[in-house]
Amino acid sequence: MSASKDTLTITDNRTGKRYEVAVVDGTIRAMDLRQIKADEEDFGLMTYDPAFMNTASCKSAITFIDGDKGILEYRGYPIEQLAEQSNYLEVAYLLLHGELPTGEELKQWTWNVTHHTFINENIKKVLDGFHYNAHPMGMFEAMVAALSTFYPESKNIFDEECRRKQIHRLIAKVPTVAAFAFRHRVGMQYAYPDNDLSYEANFLNMMFKTTELKYQPNPVLERALSVLFILHADHEQNCSTNTMRSIGSAHTDPYSCVAGAAAALYGPLHGGANEAVLKMLDEIGSIERVPEYIKKVKDGEFRLMGFGHRVYKNYDPRARIIKQVADEVFEVTGKDPLLDIALELERIALEDEYFVKRRLYPNVDFYSGIIYRAMKLPVNMFPVMFAIPRTSGWLAQWVEMLGDADQKIARPRQIYLGQRTREYVPMEKRNGGAEGQAAGG
């Protein structure tokens, strides 16, 4: 009997039995494998996929990536067009609502976000508890989590109106929280939001305002920030978004979800990479030392930060746009000498067999740090600069997850390889060694 086209026939060589499972959207359902059993007692076949290398955890209509071709689209719109013609708040609307806003919708959306930028004064007391040298990302995570205690109604995640309000609040307050964390670290008085300014200009105001009555950012830097925010707004099922969905699947409030997602973003393999890139460029120090550094990377001593991507096996389209933005920013700020080192590093790496063979290209983080540094942002603010715009992407993915009937609490399976049902050993009978280590581990 020949199988119909959209199915997969599996022969279990342990039993000789054949199974037919449906192929839908290029995938099979892992649960369809559970019926495949070696014997009556068998739990059923599972897949083993650490790090989700080949597992779709959800259906989504938000962001499309073709990693081989280097394509990135939000809701079907190419990232290049959005970066050129849109601004961050419009893109955030697009991610959350699925369509570009009309003029009236954008006006209302911008008003809603702009009028939630203030944070409760008590949040400042939370901030005061941190050391003067606390990492801003640690403060950011803690303060976003703390916001959940100020808005206990945010637990009503299936109340659409309430959910909408928390979304406005979160997108509005993350720049305030970020800028306050920065000010705490440098020991400057907090600068309050200015509702006359754009989202990006207000952020620069809260970061850098000193004695002037009205802060007016350089329009080139304001625009560059908008483009950087657009490029960082979403990236489908990356580590932090997966964290957002995973925490959200337990029906946790959105502030706690965003705090958890930000913690995932903090890692140097994810949003912390832009910070690591700058440290790396500083360490290299001069163009002459680039070949020596590349050799160490190839010898496996460390990785070339800002290079490589799980999904892109081509030039990251975001890196290409950022490179253009860098030129515009440097015209205003003057060129950062680290740019020459970065360009040389990229040139050599793109010609080198090690990188070519592994299809390692610059990713979004390779150039973003250099721009942020030119804007006078300290290196430790870089992951925070990623978290601000990614908040809209996390929220869009969270809303999509809550409305998806296929989703349940995220709960992977494991392959248990440890000991089974043993007798408890009283302390005086333990002989250390392997047993002691097992208890410690």
Binding-site member from 364, 377, 388, 396 for ligand CMC (CB under 6 A): 364
Token code pair at residue 272: 């912390």
66 is annotated as an active-site residue = no
* Phi, psi angle pair for 174, to nearest 5°: -60, -40
116 is annotated as an active-site residue = no
Facing residues of 11 across strands? 18
> Per rule CB under 6 A, is residue 110 in the interface with ligand CMC?
no
327 is annotated as an active-site residue = no
Contact assessment for residue 71 and residue 78, using Cβ atoms and an 8 Å cutoff: yes
> Per rule CB under 6 A, is residue 313 in the interface with ligand CMC?
no
Give the nearest residue (CB) to ligand CMC: 308
**Helical ranges in 249-381 per DSSP H:** 254-266, 273-284, 290-298, 317-333, 338-351, 353-357, 365-374
Token code pair at residue 341: 């080192």
Alpha carbons 297 and 69: distance in angstroms, whole number:
26
Tell me how far, at minimum, the Cβ of 309 lies from ligand CMC, in Å.
5
> Per rule CB under 6 A, is residue 394 in the interface with ligand CMC?
no
> Per rule CB under 6 A, is residue 166 in the interface with ligand CMC?
no
* Binding piece for ligand CMC, criterion CB under 6 A, among 56-64, 137-145, 298-306, 388-396: 298-306
Token code pair at residue 188: 């400057």
Helix, coil or strand: residue 63: strand
Q: Alpha carbon 20 to chain centroid distance?
A: 38
Token code pair at residue 34: 């559970």
Contact assessment for residue 238 and residue 67, using Cβ atoms and an 8 Å cutoff: no
Binding-site member from 154, 176, 246, 363 for ligand CMC (CB under 6 A): 363
> Per rule CB under 6 A, is residue 269 in the interface with ligand CMC?
yes
* Of residues 30-89, those binding ligand CMC (CB under 6 A): none
* Binding piece for ligand CMC, criterion CB under 6 A, among 41-49, 269-277, 286-294, 407-415: 269-277
For the beta carbon of residue 28, count every other beta carbon within 10 angstroms: 15
* Of residues 206-265, those binding ligand CMC (CB under 6 A): 235, 238
* Binding piece for ligand CMC, criterion CB under 6 A, among 71-79, 193-201, 332-340, 358-366: 358-366
Which residues lie near ligand CMC (CB under 6 A)?
235, 238, 269-271, 273, 297, 303-310, 358, 360, 363-365
Tell me the catalytic residues: 270, 309, 365
